[in-house]
Amino acid sequence: MKAFTKIPPYYDTLMTEINYKRWVAYILDIFDRFNISPKKILDLACGTGTCCLLFAKSGFDVMGVDSSKGMLDVAKSKTKRFNIKFSCQDMANFSLSQKVDVVTCLFDSLNYLLEEEELSNAYKCAYDILNDGGFFIFDVNTEYGLSTCWGNKVYVKENKNVLSIWKNSFDTKSHIARLDLTLFIKKNGYYERLDETHFEKAYQNSKIEDLLYSTHFKEIHVYRHLSFEKPSYYTPRIMAAAKKQEA
């Protein structure tokens, strides 16, 4: 079963602990740091559109791309007051009819690309739709994050009427983390069970940068997430900002 097929109606409930406003504020700080004044932003793998909504409220012209129709249905219902255009496309093979100034890809979405070729293709698609001098800004979970913070652990969460069980495992040979997610949805005194399996691949920071350079991105900067400090081995998530060379 493809990820994000069953859980879209409950995704926002599962993510209630995520401080989306802080994430977007951090992106705006990156804009300031590199003197970026974008007008058009594409949020790649936009999910249920929370960041699209926050970008739109900040005055940007926003578009969203995601491969899950269910997630996009939720996004459209949340953003009706704003003229946000959504498109159902794969992040390793997407295109737009117009160029943008910034492409963001957040919440470890790129880790879902399990082959190096897929990751490279996503970079190329982002590069192609950026205006000259535009920026590709994204985060990824590191190998430390997936192998240790996720690790081989089981978590149980309860949010409103949703009980979720998160069973993680990490394969040290393939560098792929597996999440078996089980939801119990309380409805009319009964519980409906939903199951999904998610996979994320850990890429070395050097590989992430090498692929960006081979796609002709320039001025590549990598930080410990939500900071402007250099990452270390113990950094669970990094943020990268890469500039498309100007004509």
pLDDT-based confidence at 187, cuts 50/70/90?
confident
The domain limits of the chain are 8-142+204-244, 145-201
Say which CATH architecture domain 145-201 belongs to.
Single Sheet (2.20)
pLDDT at 247 over 70: no
Strand order in the sheet with 176-187: 154-159, 162-171, 176-187, 190-201
Q: Model confidence over 31-41: pLDDT tens digits?
A: 999 999 999 99
Q: How far apart are CA 44 and CA 206, in angstroms?
A: 22
Q: With CA atoms as reference, report the closest residue to 161 among 13, 17, 15, 19.
A: 13
pLDDT at 197: 97
Supply the pTM of this predicted model. Answer: 0.96
Residues in the chain: 247
Encode 167-234 in three state secondary structure.
EEEEECCCCEEEEEEEEEEEECCEEEEEEEEEEEECCCHHHHHHHHHHCCEEEEEEEECCCCCCCCCC
Q: What is the pLDDT of residues 142-156, one digit of tens each?
A: 999 999 999 999 999
Residue written as token pair 């599962």: 14
pLDDT tens profile 47-98: 999 999 999 999 999 999 999 999 999 999 999 999 999 999 999 999 999 9
Task: Evaluate if residue 243 carries a pLDDT over 90.
Answer: yes
The per-residue pLDDT for 189 is 83
Residue 139 has pLDDT above 90, yes or no: yes
Burial class (CB in 10 A: 0-12, 13-18, 19+), 212: buried
CATH architecture of 8-142+204-244: 3-Layer(aba) Sandwich (3.40)
pLDDT at 72: 98
